[in-house]
Amino acid sequence: MSEKVVKVYSTPTCPWCRRTKMWLDEKGIKYQDLNVAEDKAAREEMINLTHQLGVPIITIDGEAIIGFKENELKAKLGIV
């Protein structure tokens, strides 16, 4: 099974973004962190994908999860 592509759209000041990344780190999940406060292209990509401005937005193989939802993350990542 190939590794899932995980992206976290976040800002440096967002506590839920930090919690999401800490959780992924604890689980050993590799992810791409996209700072939408500074990266205009990433911000536009996030908005086009979700029609949302709030962070964190986590995508797993292109499917978006809006906000830190541990059970949904576990299900999509196959974590028991």
Percent pLDDT > 90 in the chain is: 94
* 27, part of any domain: yes
> 19-37 pLDDT, tens per residue?
999 999 999 999 999 999 9
Q: State the Cα–Cα distance between residues 59 and 6, nearest whole angstrom.
A: 6
For 20, list phi and psi in degrees, rounded to 5.
Answer: -60, -50
Number of domains observed in the structure of the chain: 1
Phi-psi region of 19 (alpha: psi -120 to 50; beta: other; left: phi over 0): alpha
* 1, part of any domain: no
CATH number, domain of 39, equals 3.40.30.10
Predicted confidence (pLDDT) at residue 7 exceeds the cutoff of 50: yes
Local confidence band at 1 (pLDDT 50, 70, 90 cut-offs) = very low
Residue type, 11: T
pTM of the predicted model as reported, rounded to 2 decimal places: 0.93
Which structural domain, as residue segments, surrounds residue 11? Answer: 6-77
